Structure 1
Amino acid sequence: MLTISLFVVALLSAMLPVVALNSLNLYVQAAKESAAGQSGGYTYQISGGSNDVAEELRQQVQNGKAIGVKSTQGSVGLTSASGSSRNTIADITFLTGPSRYGTLIEGHQPSQKNEISLSRAAAEQIDAQLGDIVTVQCDDSALSSDYKLIGITVDAANTNTVYATAVSSKDNLQNIQMWLTDDDATVNQGEVAKESATNNVNIGYIKSTIRNAEETVRTRDLP
Structure 2
Amino acid sequence: MTRTAQRSKSGGKGLGVIAFLAIGVSLFLAIQYFGFGTGASAFVQEKLKIMGLSDLWYSALYVHIAGGVVALGVGWVQFVGKLRARSIGLHRTLGRIYGVAVLLSAVAGVFMSFRATGGWASSLGFLLLSLAWLYTLGQGLNAIRTGRDLAKHRKWMTLNYALTLAAVTLRIYLPLAIVLFGMGPYNVYYSIIAWLCWVPNLLLASWLLSRRTRRSR
State the TM-score, normalized to the length of structure 1.
0.24
- Which of the pair is proportionally richer in helix? 2
The structure, 1 or 2, with the larger RCO (C-alpha pairs under 8 Å, 6+ apart) is: 1
User: TM-score, normalized by length of structure 2?
Assistant: 0.25
More strand by share: 1
Larger radius of gyration: 1
